[in-house]
A and B are shown apart, each in its own frame.
Chain A
Amino acid sequence: MNDLLTMAVVVSALHLAVPLIYPALGGLISERSGVMNIGLEGMMLVGAFTGTAFAYATGSPWLGLLAALAGGLLAGALLAVLCVTLRADQVVAATAINLLGAGLTAAFVPIVWNVDGTSPPVHKLTAWTVPLLADLPGIGVIFSSLTALDYGAFLAALAVWWVLFRTDAGLRLRACGESPEAADSAGVPVLRTRFLAVTMSGAFAAAGGVYLSLVSIGLFQASMTQGRGYLALAAMIFGKWRVWPALLACLLFGLADAVQLRLQIASTLFPSELLLALPYLLALLALATFVGRASAPAAVGRPFART
């Protein structure tokens, strides 16, 4: 393989990793506050759909992106109402969100576009060519093929890391996930904090979803997330609920995806249908090496109510 080919794989890996990074960060925020978020998949679909619909209606992918984030916030708030306010079982409630996201977005495709399954193409977010950097030999190609949303993923990771681990707000949020009782006794409003965290995680998941529709392929397709919400969750668990390891896990899954795509084109040795399973297999192996709940936030999954 020549250099160009390798760089193409790197770019493709980045493109495939970004829609994992956003939801992984969302899951991290939610779970660090003590609410298990299995609903990322559904929230991603909500983001992908609202983004496409608004981009279609307004002709601007940027307005589509904004709408997607708003849709994600709404989906997140819905899960927060169920899990935080009403203290519903977090797994069951999130499953409802997933099926609702999948079902509603699919049901709305014919309502909005009068076709089944797939929307017409819309304007995509275009790549930025970074001056100077793009002219670099070899790696320059990276800086001419990434969009704002790609750079945003890494900035978002930095921001999440900063807020969670370097600010007072983060200290309080993580306390709600480790010991809501201790946080409560220290005067932290546990329910409000968790509500905000889960709502925010919806926006992050939606950013991942809208990346798929407005950056990757430029249209909406029913169930287009293909389990990426769960892969992101697996990456977050594999990263032991920490920002940078989770980001690395997303990049790893993205690379696996890019490699299998590459192999599909380059070789007939492996059947492409089996290659498609590579990221999921990798995620499963990653989870199998994970021992116990030792690194999970201690109170994740446990609803909080003052007695």
Chain B
Amino acid sequence: MAAIRLIGVTKTYGQVRANDDVHLTVEAGSVHGLLGENGAGKSTLMKILFGMTRPDAGSVEVDGVPVRLRSSADAVTAGIGMVQQHFSLVESYTVTENLVLGRSPGGPLRRLTHRLDLDGAAQQVTEMSDRFGFRIDPHARVSTLAVGARQRVEILKALWSGTRILILDEPTAALAPPEAAELFTVLRRLRDDGTTIILISHKMPEVFDLCDRVSVLRDGRVVGHRDLGPAHADESARRRLEAELVRLMIGRDQPERPHRPGEPGEPVLVARNLGGGRLHPTDLTVHAGEILGVAGVEGNGQTELVELLVGVRRADSGTIELDGHDVTRTGPGVRLRHGLAHIAEDRHTAAVAERMSIAANTALGFTDTPPLARGRWWLSAKRTARLADALIRRHAVRAGTTSDPVTSLSGGNQQKLVVGRELARAPRLMLAVQPTRGLDVGAAGAVHEALLALRDAGAGVLLVSLDLTEVMSVSDRIIVLSGGRIVGETPARDADPDLLGIWMTGARPTEAAA
């Protein structure tokens, strides 16, 4: 019997069709995989299923009955639970307190006067934990738990509120292999107990380990379903299926290659044994006239790498040499002066100051030196405005006056402005992190062209992106980060998307690489 049926689900955001006539059936008591690249439409689909957004067209059936999911509460009532990538747990609370929070008995008066029975609840948690192998201490504070344990708490929380259909969004994105193994044990036991599980992922091994069936999404459409039954028995069948799925995910069309190969010169960035946070000690070199693409699934050490290179995170180990200067112990200011530019991953937190004007935001990092500053005591407003005007024109930003607040621009236009500002530094090394996020195709192309021009002018570029197509079409050389380590390196011109996909997803590279 089908636990879930999606019929012709369509959802459009502005110009983008996030979901396009999606049909999907999930059998009760099975683990169903949903594969796809970043931006393929998986998350939108699951948000619809969990009542967080409403589809423009199409319908949802649960256990054969059409349901209307107007809110998450509706979904919970229908027995659907979701564990998102960003947990919604109260960190300072214990596991039990987090579970009890969502399901409290009685009205306001009872809540005020009756003693909270945390011990009884803890007992229940222990029972449930033992039954499915969660291995969670009900009295542990969430803040003391590792990511994997927190995730199991989220699953417990979903089950606690009566979930029969469990959606997991990239559950292993931030897990170390042993934690992932623990998670899988739990999930298998849940399935054997009758829980239906939908697993969103782009990691091949876990899909093969867990799923009974898998659907592949690309550009908002379902491009194929496969039963994984045969693959579990036969190793060669599994290999074939793996390759087939990777192709379905990424698309048959080979991404465009850079038409002009770069001419790598001297190194502009040399990181030796550099480590911190999730990033294990790593060696990395970017040459002048080269674009080094960093591919990988989110949360595999990219953020740490970028923060270490910008200088806002202290290195646990290693050294950083920027254009011949040892900058390991310096802050962002010094690195800026030695020729670093940075297109930040999260624009809101690290690239713009939202209450300030467009002009002020374009002037960031230029205000201490000529031509904007004339000595320590004069900052030219005219030149600041001119700089903003120039960048707006050069990068086709749709903006009013430069004295308008930067928030008067759309997200895409803010991004163009940030890219323009960082390019204007004429950097020796450009750290471009997701530089085309939120841009339409034309604008994204312009950013890529600009990065290529920068490279041709003799700068080094480190391009960190979750979008494999972007990495392949712009880079000269590609490295893949997985689990905080560089797991593979290849010249872009020889890069095989299947191989990159396998590296990124952590599949065994041995024979496939050959």
Contact = CB atoms under 8 A, between A and B. Distances in A.
Contact of A175 (B93, B112, B115): B93
A171 B117 CA distance: 12
A67 B110 CA distance: 28
Given A183-B101, A186-B102, A187-B102, A168 B92 contact: no
Interface residues of A, number: 20
A178 B111 contact: no
A276 interface: no
Counting chain B CB atoms within 10 Å of each CB, the highest count among A163, A171, A172, A298 belongs to: A171
B16 interface: no
Interface residues of B, number: 24
A91 interface: no
A179 B116 contact: no
A168 B101 CA distance: 8
A182 B112 contact: no
Interface in B67-124: 72-73, 88-93, 97-98, 100-102, 104-106, 108, 110-116
Contact of A167 (B72, B97, B101, B114): B114
Given A175-B101, A185-B72, A186-B101, A167 B92 contact: no
B112 A163 contact: yes
Given A163-B112, A167-B111, A178 B93 contact: yes
B393 to A, nearest CB: 34
Interface string A159-192: 0000100111111101100110111011110000
| Majority-rule SS of A interface residues | helix
Nearest to B99: A186
A34 to B, nearest CB: 12
B88 A172 contact: no
Contact of B115 (A166, A174, A298): A166
Interface in B199-227: none
B115 A167 contact: yes
A67 B88 CA distance: 42
Nearest to B89: A182
A166 B116 contact: yes
Interface centre among B73, B90, B112 (most CB of A within 10 A): B90
B74 to A, nearest CB: 12
Contact of B91 (A169, A170, A298): A298
Contacts of B89: 179, 182
Contacts of A178: 90-93
A172 B72 contact: no
A179 B111 contact: no
Interface string B343-372: 000000000000000000000000000000
A239 B91 CA distance: 21
Contacts of B112: 163, 167, 169
Given A175-B101, A183-B101, A185-B88, A169 B93 contact: no
Contacts of A298: 91-92
Given A168-B104, A171-B100, A183 B90 contact: yes
Contacts of A167: 111-116
A175 B101 CA distance: 8
A168 B102 contact: no
Contact of B100 (A166, A168, A174, A181): A168
Contact of B108 (A169, A171, A182, A188): A169
A166 B111 CA distance: 10
A175 B90 contact: yes
B466 to A, nearest CB: 23
A96 B24 CA distance: 56
A171 B92 CA distance: 11
29 contacts: A163-B112, A167-B111, A167-B113, A167-B114, A167-B115, A167-B116, A168-B105, A168-B116, A169-B111, A169-B112, A171-B104, A171-B116, A172-B101, A174-B93, A175-B93, A175-B101, A178-B90, A178-B91, A178-B92, A178-B93, A179-B88, A179-B89, A181-B88, A182-B88, A182-B90, A185-B72, A186-B98, A186-B101, A188-B101
Interface of A: 163, 166-172, 174-175, 178-179, 181-183, 185-188, 298
Interface of B: 72-73, 88-93, 97-98, 100-102, 104-106, 108, 110-116
Closest 3 CB pairs of A and B: A186-B102, A169-B111, A168-B111
Given A169-B111, A183-B101, A186-B98, 13 more contacts: A167-B111, A167-B116, A168-B100, A169-B108, A171-B104, A172-B104, A175-B90, A175-B101, A179-B89, A183-B90, A185-B72, A186-B88, A298-B92
